[in-house]
Amino acid sequence: AGGLYVAKLDETGRQLSHTSLPAEPPITGMAMTSLGLLAWRADQTFALIDVDGATKERLGTEPQQRIIAVATNAKRAVVLLEREGSKRQARWLTLEPKLAWGGWITLDGDLTNAQQIALSPSGKRLAMLAGVSSVGQQKQTPPVFISTMGTVFDIAKAGKVLVTGLVNNAQADVGFADDDHVAFGGFQGLSWVDLKDTTPKAQPITTPASAGSRTEAMLATGGGRAVSPMNGDLVISTPEKTQYLGYDTISPRIAEVGPDGQLLVSVGNELLLLDQSLKMSSLLTPFKAGTTGTIGQVAELHWLGDNDWLFESTTPSDPTMQISLVDAKGFSTQVRKGIKEVQILGYEPSSQLVTLSFGAESEVARYDRKGKKLDRIASVKKASPYEQVMFVPVSAAASHGTQLVQITMREKSTVKWFRDAGALDKPSATVTVEGPFAGADAAGHVFMWRNTPTGQLELVLYADGKPLRTLPNNGAVALWPEPSGKRYVEVAQSSVALYDLDGKQLWYQQIATSQEALWLTDGAIAITSAGGVARLDPATGAVTAARCGWRFSLADKPHPAPPRVEPLCSQLRRSL
């Protein structure tokens, strides 16, 4: 809108104070100097603003002149002005002891389409970017530029052209890393010019545009380096080398409950255990030599208590899935192989029941911790490709004797409760619901969406074959029941809320793009999303920790592009 916000920060980035300047008239550009911020407005005036936001000096252009671009260095500035008759020319602007116009600068070149300028640290050289139109677009008003021409002038030698060349990018910026090195570019890459060469050349930018790149370039130069953003990285470049500063990932590919309130996340090809502050406490490496199975790309995993894990993965030599038991030392034992579909894993510690769901054959097994194996006790093959079977292991103590719940999903859903997990032909209760499955807990409660006579879906809670009550819902939501069977988290498109089993909302938290709500072993709730992970206090919903990236590093190759959503951490900062 043209207003200006000036903030003072300490060395940790914490804001100490700020000042806002109104947009009357609007500010159209700004550049930093050693004497303060130089800003220019739509009424063709300059203002020099100090660190407290106070305006130290003002200066206007002369009649029939318009500001096109400004370049600064420490205590001097050059302004590209459009004069009467649409002629463009560069002029010195003095910053101290007060703002004042200096002499006109002679440059041996056509400045008609000049858009950006940069001043060398010594003030002896000026770099310029000028738009280049294709045939037929030159006569349009305003002209349409399809590429950019970069030129460097020697001010000290009557504006002699030192180098000129096509940058091949209509949206670019220019800056001096030092007196002898100029960088052209921005979001789409960088092109360096070494002015010490006998015949310096401006090389075209050949790096492909980054996904979601902005319409304007962004480039900072100094100290021999050029810095520009690309996707989620800061690109730090010198004429000899380019490096990328950023995170390996923002969104974990897999997140799972771990011991002692920890959260296990899959980051790239590594598995990290995060503590209560969501900081890495240890690295899980299930790749030990001499094991009876090789863990490759992990598709699903589940904690089995103590330091034992159940991994579902592929191997480099076998595209089918395998399931392996992995202990704290990283030694794995293969317990299933040749599985053609990814199975959803479940586990109940009180009965040691492990379930494999949603495959061509869903299975119930008992975990033999000492023998390092899964003993199959029951299974069921789905009757058709359009059917899905899910098993949920249940705590008999919390559910009045129920060990297992089976949900068979087709046009309608059939839910069965079993007191003997090995006798799938003898359910203790059965109900058929015209609607999809929504969730289940270890206490035997099953949440179902049920069609109403008006064609709407209602959320109904069932136990032992009977509907207990209809629960409130906020439209299209996902449910994550508490293992104890007392509460459930409802995840909507832009919010997360906690309810008790009577449907009473206990708290509400505005968090967008959430994917999962995991109940951790210390009672806390972990919210995962494409933009990061947050840990919530189950009593109040307050955020106790948040992380929006792992493995921050300076790398020789770009880090993976982040998802195009607002990071969870910035959402939480804004709400606070």
pLDDT at res. 136: 52
Q: What is the mean pLDDT of residues 294-299?
A: 71
Q: What is the mean pLDDT of residues 319-332?
A: 83
pLDDT at res. 27: 94
DSSP 52-105: TS-EEEEEEPPTT-EEEEEEEETTEEEEEEE-GGG-EEEEEEE-SSS-EEEEEE
Q: Which of 420, 409, 348, 349 is nearest to 384 (CA)?
A: 409
CA 408/CA 76 separation, integer angstroms:
75
Half-sphere exposure of 228 (CA within 13 A, CB side): 27
Per residue in 281-291, pLDDT (tens digit) is 777 765 444 44
Q: What is the mean pLDDT of the chain?
A: 88
**Count of CB atoms situated within 10 Å of the CB of 292:** 12
Per residue in 100-155, pLDDT (tens digit) is 999 999 999 889 889 899 999 999 999 999 988 765 555 556 667 677 889 999 99
Q: Which residue has the tokens 């074959």?
A: 465
pLDDT at res. 238: 92
Cα–chain-centroid distance for residue 267? Answer: 13
Find the angle CA(365)-CA(415)-CA(340) to the nearest 5 degrees: 45
Structure tokens at 467: 């509907």
Q: What is the mean pLDDT of residues 277-281?
A: 85
pLDDT at res. 323: 92
pLDDT at res. 291: 45
Q: What is the DSSP letter of 14?
A: -
Helix (H) / strand (E) element for 570: namely: helix 568-575
Q: Is the pLDDT score of 269 beyond 60?
A: yes
